[in-house]
């Protein structure tokens, strides 16, 4: 692969495009000819960007796509402009996450302006994922997931909206914002329990909501459990509900052995995921609070 | 008081740690004890990071800068720690840390061994299998529903396209009468993405023959070289040792006579080896938080073949020299199963038969398990029926989409020809 050659060619193209653009400004402003010049410059920027991509020079590619997007805007073709911004975002994602977010935000502005909310929502998710993995700014990631969920709901794509909301809830619980997590889980659970296909997963959401209640306050968890059983009778015979009852009992007696036994039995049938492990550990800690459990963390 | 006995160092790995503020990697050692995780720099020998395992929120395998494989650990309060260039490789470290984290939740504080309760009954195994397939089917149902929604939105956007095409048709008609054409006309583009995801794969599991199980513990297993590490289980039977992976698939079975030596590396780590003439040895290396409970049993069963390496020997001697001071030490706790193993030991011949008899007299599947199984089966059936209904609906929707797309293509073709004539 001749990457250096590609890069040189791309730089050359960028320079040409700039020249062409200047020409359109000085001589043929406002005429038809000016527009075709801009169009040509725009195409050159895109080609340069693709060459930078081949040479793996991501930030240069992002920059070129950005230029193309701005020219598209000048030419009043919003759709092309948005696509170029998304391309720019994808290129920047590999080099400069902040710049990628700026580009994607620009694309989102255009899409919402055109009323294409589903696409806007999709890019909000992309931004949220960048915040989540690259920048580890969970608060901002949550905000974008919420925005995306709102857009999806407006477009009646409820499963996509629920997917985003569940992410928000999981993070909220990790950040110990249990109230928020509970609200979301209850809402999603209530939404899904009447759907013939989704009602089988509703128990998971109620289980998670009850666990969040449990961490905050044992009594609340009991009340919540009763409420869920009333709302959704199928919850009563689920393994999750039985586990909760056992855990509540063990917690009341401050019996950490019974607690562990119950959790272990559940885990032997279906393996606990990391989120559940975290939450169950937090509850277990509250049992051991005054016991010997704390002592050995020195 | 018992912190000494329970906070042994389990393992150290050379690795590097990312300093968020200074944006650079520092080399050092990752230090795992049974209760906490620490990072020690090579240069100054300071503990840069130290947190208890209980504060972990999430462990992930990630790539930093898209190239370097790392393990990331999210601590309470969303502090993310990056550990990279891990030796021998990332998977080993990941599985071992995850294992010890989970054991915090799953193991009893006193280290009491429940040889009987950790034994899976047939009914439990069946329930596990069913629960697993139920979960898979639930996921599949969710995906199916999502797909249904996508198909619906495609139908509605096709409707939009059709009305747009009508507008184009009208405009073209207008244009066809006078003969001038100043604008460039863009064709309608159609975004269509239907992604059908394949069905879920069912984890196949194999029930194991039941015979005199002494103890079964979860463990992290590596075979031969340390590059392949996966979570699994070690089962000690009266007649030998069995090693299973996490799907309960039998990886290897050592008959009792076949085991040539067992090395106890540290408190938590043993390796078991079978020698062959003219063939490579079969070696398994096992790490488990429950290992202290198992070592005494292994010692009973394979007294001649077991070998304590230096570290373990030291720990062992401290363990036995002052048992009273330790109070509730692991060793003491572990001595209980030794006693019962000792009981069985002398008559291992007819004892196997006795155990078999014992299990025969038990009903194969208990009442409770049957109840559970019945429930799950009912749910599975309901799910399958609902999935069928949804699939039929989607089928119809797809038919509609196919005809609409055909129609649209035809109209676009027609428009194209007319536009060409105009230019």
pLDDT in 10s for each residue of chain B, 423 residues: 344 445 567 777 788 888 777 777 888 878 777 777 778 777 777 777 777 777 777 787 777 666 677 788 877 767 778 887 777 777 777 888 788 777 777 776 554 444 444 456 777 778 888 888 888 888 888 888 888 888 888 888 888 888 888 888 888 887 777 655 455 444 443 433 333 333 333 333 333 444 567 777 778 787 766 667 777 877 777 777 788 777 777 777 877 777 777 878 777 788 887 777 777 777 878 788 777 777 777 777 777 777 777 666 665 555 444 444 444 444 444 444 444 444 544 444 555 555 555 555 556 667 777 887 888 888 888 888 888 888 888 888 898 898 888 888 888 888 888 888 877
Query: Which residue of A lies nearest to B67 if distances are taken between CA atoms?
Result: A94
Q: What does the DSSP 8-state code read for residue A296?
A: G
- How many Cα atoms within 13 Å fall on the side-chain side of residue A244? 32
pLDDT of the residue at B356 = 53
Question: Which residue do the tokens 């969970």 mark?
Answer: A138
pLDDT of the residue at B108 = 63
- Domain check: are B9 and B74 in the same one? yes
pLDDT of the residue at B5 = 44
Does A133 reside within a domain?
no
Residue B45's region, left for phi above 0, alpha for psi from -120 to 50, else beta, is left
pLDDT value at A140 more than 50? yes
- Domain check: are B112 and B7 in the same one? yes
Q: Structural domain of residue A250, as residue ranges?
A: 177-289
Does B338 reside within a domain?
no
pLDDT of the residue at B184 = 46
- Domain check: are B109 and B18 in the same one? yes
- Domain check: are B194 and B229 in the same one? no
Point out the domain boundary residue: B321, B350, B369. B321
Residues of A in contact with B35 (CB under 8 A): 296-297
Q: What does the DSSP 8-state code read for residue A182?
A: H
Helix (H) or strand (E) holding B263, with range, is strand B261-266
Of all residues in chain A, the percent with pLDDT exceeding 70 is 87
pLDDT value at A124 more than 80? yes
User: Of the candidates B251, B255, B258, which has an alpha carbon nearest to the alpha carbon of residue B223?
Assistant: B251
Q: Is B36 an interface residue toward A (CB < 8 Å)?
A: yes
- Domain check: are B13 and B111 in the same one? yes
Does A142 reside within a domain?
no
* Residues B267, B291 contacting (CB under 8 angstroms): yes
Does B90 reside within a domain?
yes
Q: What does the DSSP 8-state code read for residue B388?
A: H
Does A199 reside within a domain?
yes
- Determine, for residues A196 and B386 on separate chains, whether the beta-carbon distance falls below 8 Å: yes
- Domain check: are B389 and B281 in the same one? no
What is the pTM (predicted TM-score) of this model?
A: 0.66
User: Of the candidates B217, B321, B320, B317, which has an alpha carbon nearest to the alpha carbon of residue B269?
Assistant: B217
* 3-state secondary structure (DSSP) of residue B264: strand
* B308 DSSP β-pair partners: B264
**Average pLDDT in chain A:** 79
Q: Greatest CA span in chain A, whole angstroms?
A: 87
- Determine, for residues B110 and A284 on separate chains, whether the beta-carbon distance falls below 8 Å: no
- Domain check: are B78 and B178 in the same one? no
- Domain check: are B80 and B162 in the same one? no
User: Of the candidates A167, A137, A134, which has an alpha carbon nearest to the alpha carbon of residue A149?
Assistant: A167
Does B374 reside within a domain?
no
Q: Please name the member of B2, B78, B142 whose beta carbon is closest to the beta carbon of A296.
A: B2
Q: Which residue has the higher pLDDT, A134 or B118?
A: A134
Point out the domain boundary residue: B321, B345, B365. B321
Rounded Cα distance, A216 and A179, in Å: 9
Point out the domain boundary residue: B68, B88, B119. B119
pLDDT of the residue at A46 = 83
Does B196 reside within a domain?
yes
- Determine, for residues A285 and B6 on separate chains, whether the beta-carbon distance falls below 8 Å: no
Mean pLDDT over residues A281-296, rounded?
A: 61
Does B348 reside within a domain?
no
Give the torsion through C-alpha atoms of A28, A30, A32, A38, to 10 deg: 70
Neighbours of B262 (CB within 10 A): 21
Residue A269 belongs to a domain with what CATH number? 1.25.40.10
* Residues A215, A178 contacting (CB under 8 angstroms): yes
pLDDT of the residue at B323 = 42
Does A257 reside within a domain?
yes
pLDDT of the residue at B354 = 54
pLDDT of the residue at B208 = 42
pLDDT of the residue at B366 = 76
Number of domains in chain B: 3
DSSP letter string over A225-252?
A: HHHHHHH-GGGTTSHHHHHHHHHHHHHH
pLDDT of the residue at A276 = 84
Residues of B in contact with A288 (CB under 8 A): 109
pLDDT of the residue at B25 = 80
Q: List pLDDT tens digits, range A1-49.
A: 566 677 777 777 777 777 766 665 555 455 555 566 777 777 878 888 8
| A200–chain B nearest CA distance, Å | 6
Number of domains in chain A: 1
User: Of the candidates A219, A298, A229, which has an alpha carbon nearest to the alpha carbon of residue A252?
Assistant: A219
Residue B298 belongs to a domain with what CATH number? 2.30.29.30
- Domain check: are B14 and B114 in the same one? yes
- Give the burial string for B141-151 (b: 16+ CB within 10 Å, else e): bbbbbbbbbbb
The two beta strands, B213-223 and B79-84, are unpaired
Rounded Cα distance, B108 and B333, in Å: 11
pLDDT of the residue at A204 = 85
- Determine, for residues A268 and B124 on separate chains, whether the beta-carbon distance falls below 8 Å: yes
Q: Structural domain of residue B115, as residue ranges?
A: 2-119
User: Of the candidates A61, A6, A11, A69, which has an alpha carbon nearest to the alpha carbon of residue A43?
Assistant: A69
Q: How far is CA B216 from CA B18, B213, B242, B261, B294, in A?
A: 38, 7, 9, 20, 9
Rounded Cα distance, A180 and B57, in Å: 18
Does B340 reside within a domain?
no
- Domain check: are B221 and B309 in the same one? yes
Query: Which residue of A lies nearest to B134 if distances are taken between CA atoms?
Result: A200
Residues of B (233-292) whose Cβ lies below 8 Å from A: 246
Q: What is the ipTM of this complex?
A: 0.71
- Domain check: are B6 and B114 in the same one? yes
pLDDT of the residue at B7 = 59
Q: What does the DSSP 8-state code read for residue B54?
A: G
- Domain check: are B198 and B217 in the same one? no
Does B333 reside within a domain?
no
Neighbours of B362 (CB within 10 A): 10
- Determine, for residues B127 and A269 on separate chains, whether the beta-carbon distance falls below 8 Å: yes
């Amino acid at each position: 692969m001749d990457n250096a050659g590609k890069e040189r060619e791309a730089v050359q193209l960028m320079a040409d495009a700039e020249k062409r653009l200047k020409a359109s400004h000085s001589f043929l402003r406002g005429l038809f000819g000016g527009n075709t010049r801009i169009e040509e410059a725009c195409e050159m920027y895109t080609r340069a960007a693709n060459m930078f991509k081949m040479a793996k020079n991501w930030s240069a590619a992002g920059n070129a796509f950005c230029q193309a997007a701005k020219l598209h805007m000048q030419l009043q073709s919003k759709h092309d402009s948005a696509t170029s911004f998304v391309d720019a975002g994808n290129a920047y994602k590999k080099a400069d996450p902040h710049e990628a977010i700026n580009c994607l935000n620009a694309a989102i502005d255009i899409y919402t302006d055109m009323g294409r909310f589903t696409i806007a929502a999709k890019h909000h998710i992309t931004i949220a994922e960048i915040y989540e993995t690259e920048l580890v700014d969970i608060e901002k990631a949550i905000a974008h997931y919420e925005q995306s969920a709102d857009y999806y709901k407006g477009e009646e794509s409820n499963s996509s909206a629920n997917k985003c909301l569940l992410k928000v809830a999981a993070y909220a619980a990790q950040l110990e914002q249990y109230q928020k997590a509970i609200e979301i889980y209850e809402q999603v659970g209530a939404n899904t329990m009447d759907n013939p296909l989704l009602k089988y997963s509703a128990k998971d959401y109620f289980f998670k909501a009850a666990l969040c209640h449990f961490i905050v306050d044992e009594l609340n968890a009991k009340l919540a459990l009763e409420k869920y059983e009333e709302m959704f009778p199928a919850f009563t015979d689920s393994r999750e509900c039985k586990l909760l009852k056992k855990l509540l009992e063990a917690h009341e007696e401050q019996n950490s052995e019974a607690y562990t036994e119950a959790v272990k039995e559940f885990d032997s049938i279906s393996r606990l995921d990391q989120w559940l492990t975290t939450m169950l550990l937090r509850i277990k800690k509250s049992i051991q609070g005054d016991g010997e459990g704390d002592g050995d963390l020195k | 008081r018992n912190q000494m006995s329970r906070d042994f160092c389990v393992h150290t790995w050379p690795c590097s740690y990312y300093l968020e503020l200074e944006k650079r990697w520092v080399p050092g050692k990752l230090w795992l004890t049974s209760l906490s995780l620490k990072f020690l720099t090579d240069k100054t020998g300071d503990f840069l990071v130290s947190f208890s395992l209980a504060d972990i929120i999430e462990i992930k395998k990630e790539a930093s800068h898209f190239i370097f494989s790392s393990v990331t650990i999210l601590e309470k309060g969303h502090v993310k720690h990056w550990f990279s260039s891990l030796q021998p490789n990332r998977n080993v470290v990941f599985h071992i840390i995850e294992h010890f984290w989970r054991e915090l939740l799953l193991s009893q504080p006193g280290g009491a061994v429940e040889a009987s309760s950790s034994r899976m009954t047939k009914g439990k195994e069946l329930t596990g299998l069913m629960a697993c397939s139920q979960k898979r089917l639930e996921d599949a149902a969710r995906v199916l529903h999502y797909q249904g929604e996508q198909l619906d939105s495609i139908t509605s956007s096709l409707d939009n396209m059709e009305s747009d095409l009508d507008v184009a048709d009208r405009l073209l008609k207008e244009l066809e009468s006078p003969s001038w054409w100043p604008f460039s006309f863009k064709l309608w583009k159609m975004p269509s993405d239907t992604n059908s995801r394949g069905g879920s794969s069912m984890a196949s599991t194999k029930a194991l023959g039941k015979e005199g199980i002494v103890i079964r513990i979860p463990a992290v297993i590596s075979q031969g070289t340390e590059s392949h590490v996966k979570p699994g289980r070690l089962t000690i039977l009266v007649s030998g040792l069995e090693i299973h992976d996490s799907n309960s698939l039998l990886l290897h079975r050592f008959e009792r006579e076949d085991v040539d030596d067992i090395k106890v590396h540290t408190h938590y780590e043993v390796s078991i080896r079978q020698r062959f003439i003219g063939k490579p040895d079969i070696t398994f290396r096992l790490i488990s938080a429950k290992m202290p409970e198992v070592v005494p049993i292994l010692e009973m069963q394979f007294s001649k073949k077991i070998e304590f390496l230096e570290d373990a020997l030291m720990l062992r001697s401290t363990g036995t020299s002052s048992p009273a001071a330790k109070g509730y030490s692991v060793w003491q706790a572990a001595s209980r199963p030794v006693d019962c193993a000792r009981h069985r030991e002398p008559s291992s011949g007819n004892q196997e038969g006795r155990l078999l008899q014992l299990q025969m007299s038990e009903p194969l599947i208990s009442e409770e398990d049957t109840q559970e199984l019945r429930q799950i089966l009912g749910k599975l059936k309901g799910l399958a029926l609902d999935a069928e209904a949804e699939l039929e609906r989607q089928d119809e929707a797809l038919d509609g989409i196919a005809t609409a797309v055909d129609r649209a293509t035809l109209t676009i073709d027609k428009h194209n020809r007319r536009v060409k004539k105009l230019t």
